[in-house]
Amino acid sequence: MNLLVLDRITRRFGGLTAVNNVSFTVAEGQVVGLIGPNGAGKTTVFNLITGNYRPDEGSVILEERFLNGLAPHRIVQLGIARTFQTIRLFQNMSVIENVLAGCHCRMRTGIFGSLLHTPGQRREEREQLNRALAELAFVGLQESGQQLAKNLSYGNQRLLEIARALATSPKLLILDEPAGGMNEQETQQLIALIVRLRARGLTILLIEHDMKLVMKACDRLVVIEYGSKIAEGTPEEIQRDPRVIAAYLGTDNDDSKD
Ligand SMILES: Nc1ncnc2c1ncn2[C@@H]1O[C@H](COP(=O)(O)OP(=O)(O)OP(=O)(O)O)[C@@H](O)[C@H]1O
């Protein structure tokens, strides 16, 4: 079943058509990679899905529900969480507080419960803390909960962003260049993490320039160039596609785009 459907979405910025009539689907449980040259429109597609931008034309549909025009926080509540190309953490807060910020969108206690500090609210806070600790452990940061986010290595900050996104209980996890700035070993750990997230039943859509990650971690790839989709298929099909090789992968089909 398709979890996410993009139906002919277009987004213009002044005279520039950043995303041009793009359609693709993300099936439940799959890891789909969105790839293409710099400036192809990948992040704009993500921003259209997460409500940061509105499509000029076309529809974004999650489980048969139209997302067009909904605010980003509403889309998070409906089950889409994301990380950003440029890390966006609360740098002066602790690691665990950053993850708790993700849990917050699922809190049931209203304003009166919070003010009165009712038993129900205390129970919910305990549950959220356990949830946050579990997500931190899942990404391998269980030892770092009390550190300030800014003191984590770059690679670990990326993992913390993933833990925070997981804490919102998403159906669809959107990762914008998750391996950006990671060294080889960190990238290998990230690939293993994506495999474990998939095994947990999560559906993932990611943008990534690291071809090793894309080829190992993704079930399907969608390729865009100059705002338009030029190909889609399995990693093996995409690696052989002459148009993709010419536009993006390079004629020697090596890892030169890493
Ligand atoms: N808010 C905006 N206002 C004007 N132009 C924009 C805006 N956002 C993106 N663009 C333009 O749209 C085009 C697509 O940008 P986008 O960031 O989506 O590409 P990308 O494929 O994610 O690139 P990269 O791989 O370098 O991150 C670019 O030409 C970019 O300059």
- The answer for residues whose C-beta is within 8 angstroms of residue 114's C-beta and 6 or more apart is 121
Mutate-to-test residue for ligand 1 from 6, 10, 13, 174, highest number of ligand atoms within 8 A of CB: 13
Q: Look at ligand 1, atom 26, and give the residue with the nearest C-alpha.
A: 38
Mean pLDDT, range 141-166, rounded to an integer: 94
**Lowest mean pLDDT: which of 48-52, 86-90, 163-167, 224-228?**
86-90
Summarised one tens digit per residue, pLDDT across range 60-112 is 999 989 999 899 999 999 999 999 888 889 999 999 999 998 777 666 655 55
Q: Name the residue with higher pLDDT: 122 or 182.
A: 182
Taking the C-alpha atoms of residue 120 and residue 114, their distance in angstroms, rounded to an integer, is 9
How are beta strands 31-35 and 220-225 bridged, if at all?
parallel
Whether 56 and 18 have beta carbons less than 8 Å apart is answered as no
* Domains of the chain, start order: 1-79+170-257 (3.40.50.300), 89-169 (no CATH)
> pTM, whole model, 2 decimals?
0.90
Which residues contact ligand 1 via a Cβ below 6 A?
13, 16, 18, 36, 38-44, 85
Query: So what's the pLDDT on residue 181?
Result: 87
| C-alpha pair distances (Å), 108 with each of 77, 127, 159, 248 | 12, 11, 27, 46
Task: Compute the chain's Rg from CA coordinates.
Answer: 19
* Helix or strand holding residue 5 (H, E): strand 2-13
pLDDT of 219 strictly over 80: yes
* Helix or strand holding residue 131 (H, E): helix 119-139
Query: So what's the pLDDT on residue 225?
Result: 95
Listed residue (71, 68, 34, 95) closest to 229, CA to CA: 34
